[in-house]
Amino acid sequence: MSEIQMPRLSDTMEEGVISTWVKNVGDKVASGDVLVEIETDKAVMEYEAYEDGYLVKQSVSEGETVPIGAVIGVIADSPDAVPEDSGDGGSEPEAAPAEEEQGEKAEEIQEAAEGTEAESAGESAASSGDGAARPRTSPLARRLAKEYGLDINRIQGSGPKGRIVRADIEAAREGGAAEQAAPAAQPKEEAKPAAEKAATAPAFDDGRASEELKVSNVRKVIARRLTESKQTVPHFYLRRTIDAEALKAFRAQINEQLSSTGVKVSFNDLIVKASATALKLHPAVNTSWVDDKLLQHHRVNVGVAVAVDAGLVVPVLHDTDKATLSEISTRTRELAGKARDGKLKPQEMSGGTFSVSNLGMFGVDSFSAVINPPEAAILAVGAMRQEPVVVDGEVVVRNRISLELSVDHRAVDGAVGAAFLKDLAEILEEPMRIIL
């Protein structure tokens, strides 16, 4: 009998959400079968079984969030096997169902990680001798009730032995605490404390007609990581506009040669490959500052930012400097499609040493990108524009592209970043250097 634990599916993952159980309790499982789909900080990923057997327990329900390492299920040799802590075959009839009990344990693990040991201790005291004074609740339920401004004493629990769980708090929030309270526990209106009366007063209408939207785990982690990046990484920015006439002609020539293969190289593919070429010339930019240590990366892995419904994900093209333009084009489109379908594998989003973010297709002239830690730099690419410029003493119209490099000043000095951007611009203006 083997426990299935919440895996670490990305280098930044701290917790995961059970999105969908693909296998049900009692189903036969073969090594390599998809057991469950897990929403991480980057995408929804499939988690495969590593052994043959039968799924005999789902410890965590769909929609639940648990930390890495928490038990989410059990695989056994027989479909009739009973996990030791399931509460079946020898436990008293009133014992809590295994799924609910394990779900509450997962909630307590999550709550403890946030530093609420004191609250857990308080609940133990209440259940051991002061049960009449305080309802049975999970730590997560108490925290949510506090966040939502609800009186937990007026909420009726639906969990084992009347325990108040997260679902009860959410229901109380939607329908009002009064509707969730047990009839016997309803206090008289005149006996309500002033603070409780204030809590039930109509909320102030700010005139914005706001609605709270459901926030995905991906969006939460994006918000946290970008905040950390701007607060902890000292960004500096370098800007340069390139003449794209030669690049445009080079792309047309390459695509003509590839016409029989069905592969079509984009401007972004050319910029990604040129970035990899420049990183080989300037290895000091292909670094990371981690825990007061400077790491030099000997592989060039360029991440390509892809916009999806849940936010922004960055699949990684490993060994970009060694890949051909057709390989970069094919692989980028494959990864972008998987990103939009939420099917990226952990290794396809890990190990980036540099990133490219292109908003030119949206008509954006230029922008400043936020560094994707632990990488030391990210290149922001704007739209190609026709602009009047002076060439050989005459004003002519040329296609031009704005580039902006965001750099981590802890790892890369200004002169080093400037030299990198200079060579990158020259490679794009003399695009034969991309394939030489």
Our separate counts of H helices and E strands in the chain read 12, 18
326-339 core/surface letters (b: 16 or more CB in 10 A; e: else): bbbbbbbeebbebb
Which residue, 385, 379, 383, 384, is CA-closest to 424?
379
Q: How far apart are the first and last CA of the chain?
A: 56
Question: What are the Cα distances from residue 206, in Å, to 203, 209, 210?
Answer: 9, 8, 9
Q: How many CB atoms lie within 10 A of CB 212?
A: 6
**Is 376 in a helix, a strand, or coil?**
coil
Q: Which of 235, 297, 318, 409 is catalytic?
A: 409
In angstroms, rounded to a whole number, what is the distance separating the alpha carbons of residues 408 and 233? 6
Q: Quick check: 248 and 270 in contact, CB under 8 A?
A: no
54 beta partners: 28, 76
In angstroms, rounded to a whole number, what is the distance separating the alpha carbons of residues 244 and 384? 8
CB neighbour class for 418 (10 Å; exposed up to 12, middle 13-18, buried from 19): middle
Q: Quick check: 49 and 75 in contact, CB under 8 A?
A: yes
In angstroms, rounded to a whole number, what is the distance separating the alpha carbons of residues 397 and 408? 35
Q: Quick check: 351 and 301 in contact, CB under 8 A?
A: yes
* Helices of type H across 20-134: 98-113, 117-129
Our CA dihedral for 89, 90, 96, 102, rounded to 10 degrees, sits at -70
Give residues with Cβ within 8 angstroms of 271, minimum separation 6: 356, 358, 379, 381, 428
The question of whether 298 is a catalytic residue gets the answer: no
In angstroms, rounded to a whole number, what is the distance separating the alpha carbons of residues 265 and 328? 8
Beta strands in 280-393 (DSSP E): 287-290, 293-296, 302-304, 306-308, 311-313, 316-317, 354-358, 377-391
Which residue, 221, 350, 419, 377, is CA-closest to 288?
377
Residue numbers annotated as active site: 409
